[in-house]
């Protein structure tokens, strides 16, 4: 079946290619969720020069207001308004009653012959109907009219799908897309979810999105790729870039594997990760540092303190720094940014610093475990070798560590520790897991000097 694009590639993917042509769809969500913006984005996505898009406003969205705000959006090609995109108001017939409303909608459809018709807000019409039977008949009548003609219809409304299952407009609709907005303390999280899409498959679950002048930016929920066939797994070994560590893991790390670097604050996790990336840059493997803790300034200072040139090292093609403030981040948005760089910029080494911040952002530990598994599987498929840092005082608590889902997901685990011996701080490193490699499990001193880290 033919599809109608939403104007957003990621959302089209979630919908299996777009909304079905000729279908009736509800775009639901609370005030401020971005329903009108999505409808407008969709309207401008229609190819110019064909049958128009008819945008019908009701009471909650006065026409003047819609047009005023529309002009601030990047995708709004205002020259097309009046030609490809026609705006009309239903406020007057709405005041006269349901018969007048149906007649007006029908007359506008016959007059303009639209390929897409948007009614914003449809729920505002329902709210004006005193009698539920009259409203049901009105919805059936409108749905039958739309179904007879080759027009794809969007009803916009402040519906909460979970609590509105009995509503006639949701029952009649072929597709329901809900925009959800959640206030989680310091952050305003937005998710979209397909609740129904007759005649089509779709990506289920909640997908993060954010709003901007460019419209909706959607981050499809990270999904696990199909596993590689046995012969596809790389056997090449790479140096982690820390002197002495190669020898502890059969001459290096297998390409495409993920290594968990766990230890308390100050034990050298980020430092080891930077060595890993620097070694990649030296061998022509572009690196990506996904930073959730150090700001760009702090990172530069850290790099300079090792005697390395931050200007030389910290740039795309060598080590790109992808900084995300923990208060603004969404895990699927980060995955999208990382995997885009892997695919488009041939990034081959990734350092995620740190997982704890990602876990907090995910909220739900099951979701986090699935997410990390999916992310590391994507890395494996792309031959990307990754270091993932995890903070915690784990020296005496290896049991706890090994039972954490995150530990089961990684191929290798390096455990860092710190202790005081004769008033001197001693750091140690132990390889507690190296899947597919023989490894030395003995605890070894980790020296950190002005020249960097060395295992002795």
Partner 1 sequence: MRDQCFWMLGAAASLWEHVPSPSQGAMILVVERDPHVQMLERYFLEQAGYSVELVDNGRAALARARELRPCILISEILVPELDGLAVCRAIKATQETRHIAVLIFSILSAEGRAREAGADAFLRKPLDDALLIGSVETLLHRYEKAEEDERPSGTR
Query: Which C-beta is closer to partner 1: that of 110 or that of 214?
Result: 110
| Residues in contact with partner 1, shown as a per-residue x/- string from 50 to 89 under the rule CB under 8 A | -x--------------------------------------
Interface residue with partner 1 among 20, 151, 335, 414 (CB under 8 A) is 151
| Residue 145 is a binding residue for partner 1 (CB under 8 A) | yes
106 versus 439: smaller Cβ distance to partner 1: 106
Q: How far is the CB of 113 from partner 1 (least distance, A)?
A: 6
Pair of tokens at residue 195: 């609740």
Query: Do 18 and 6 form a contact (C-beta atoms < 8 A)?
Result: yes
Residue 402 binding partner 1, by CB under 8 A: no
Among 149, 189, 408, 447, binds partner 1 (CB under 8 A): 149
171 touching partner 1, by CB under 8 A: no
CB of 96 to partner 1, least distance (A): 20
Interaction residues for partner 1, span 13-32 (CB under 8 A): 22
Q: What tokens does 454 get?
A: 């060395």
Comparing CB distances to partner 1, the nearer of 114 and 241 is 114
Q: Which of 113, 198, 223, 442 binds partner 1 (CB under 8 A)?
A: 113
Per the structure block, which two tokens stand in for 52? 């128009």
Distance, CA of 196 to CA of 200 (rounded, Å):
9
Between 111 and 403, CB nearer to partner 1: 111
Q: Of 5, 147, 200, 398, which one interacts with partner 1 (CB under 8 A)?
A: 147
Specify the residue, 152 or 389, whose C-beta has the smaller distance to partner 1: 152
Query: Do the strands 319-323 and 287-291 form a parallel or antiparallel pair, or are they unpaired?
Result: parallel
Pick 154 or 371: Cβ nearer partner 1: 154
- Compute how many other C-beta atoms are within 10 angstroms of the C-beta atom of residue 88: 15
Q: Please provide the distance, in angstroms rounded to a whole number, between the alpha carbons at the two ends of the chain.
A: 65
d(CA 13, CA 219): 11
412: nearest Cα among 426, 441, 384, 432:
432
Q: Is 144 a residue that touches partner 1 (CB under 8 A)?
A: yes
CA angle 252, 257, 262 (to 5 degrees): 85
- Residues 120 and 157: beta-carbon distance below 8 Å: no
**What are the φ/ψ torsions at residue 364 (nearest 5 degrees)?**
-105, 125
3-state secondary structure at position 223: coil
Contacts to partner 1 by CB under 8 A: 2, 22, 51, 106, 110, 113, 144-145, 147-151
């Amino acid at each position: 079946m033919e599809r109608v694009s939403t104007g957003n590639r990621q959302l089209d993917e979630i919908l299996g290619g777009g909304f079905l042509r000729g279908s009736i769809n509800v775009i639901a969500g609370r005030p401020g969720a971005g329903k009108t913006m999505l409808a407008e984005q969709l309207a401008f996505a229609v190819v110019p020069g064909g049958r128009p898009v008819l945008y019908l406003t009701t009471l909650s969205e006065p026409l003047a207001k819609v047009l005023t705000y529309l002009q601030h959006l990047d995708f709004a090609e205002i020259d097309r308004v009046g030609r490809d995109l026609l705006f009309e108001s239903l406020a007057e017939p709405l005041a006269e009653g349901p018969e007048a409303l149906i007649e007006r909608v029908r007359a506008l459809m016959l007059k303009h012959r639209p390929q897409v018709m948007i009614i914003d807000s449809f729920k505002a019409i329902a709210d004006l109907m005193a009698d539920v039977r009259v409203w049901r008949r009105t919805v059936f009548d409108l749905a039958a009219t739309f179904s007879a003609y080759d027009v794809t219809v969007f009803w916009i409304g402040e519906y909460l799908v979970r609590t509105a299952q009995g509503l006639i407009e949701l029952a009649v609709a072929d597709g329901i897309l809900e925009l959800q907005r959640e206030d989680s303390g310091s952050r305003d999280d937005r998710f979209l979810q397909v609740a129904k899409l007759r005649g089509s498959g779709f990506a289920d679950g909640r997908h993060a999105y954010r709003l901007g002048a460019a419209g909706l930016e959607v981050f499809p929920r990270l999904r696990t790729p199909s596993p590689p066939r046995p012969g596809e797994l790389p056997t090449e070994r790479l140096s982690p870039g820390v002197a002495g560590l190669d020898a502890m893991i059969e001459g290096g790390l297998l390409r495409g594997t993920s290594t968990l670097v766990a230890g308390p604050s100050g034990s050298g996790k980020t430092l080891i990760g930077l060595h890993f990336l620097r070694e990649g840059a030296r061998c022509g493997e572009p690196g990506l540092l996904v930073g959730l803790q150090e700001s760009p300034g702090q990172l530069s200072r850290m790099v300079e303190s090792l005697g390395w040139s931050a200007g030389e090292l910290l740039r795309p093609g060598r080590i790109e720094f992808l900084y995300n403030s923990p208060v603004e981040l969404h895990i699927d948005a980060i995955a999208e940014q990382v995997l885009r760089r892997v695919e488009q910029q041939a990034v081959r080494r990734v350092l995620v610093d740190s997982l704890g911040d990602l876990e907090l952002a995910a909220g739900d530990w099951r979701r986090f475990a699935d997410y990390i598994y999916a992310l590391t599987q994507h890395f494996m498929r792309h031959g990307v070798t990754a270091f993932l840092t995890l903070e915690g005082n784990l020296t005496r608590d290896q049991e706890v560590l090994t039972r954490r889902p995150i530990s089961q997901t990684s191929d290798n685990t390096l455990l860092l520790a710190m202790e005081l011996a004769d008033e001197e701080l001693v750091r140690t490193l132990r390889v507690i897991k190296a899947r597919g490699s023989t490894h030395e499990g003995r605890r070894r001193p980790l020296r950190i000097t002005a020249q960097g880290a060395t295992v002795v």
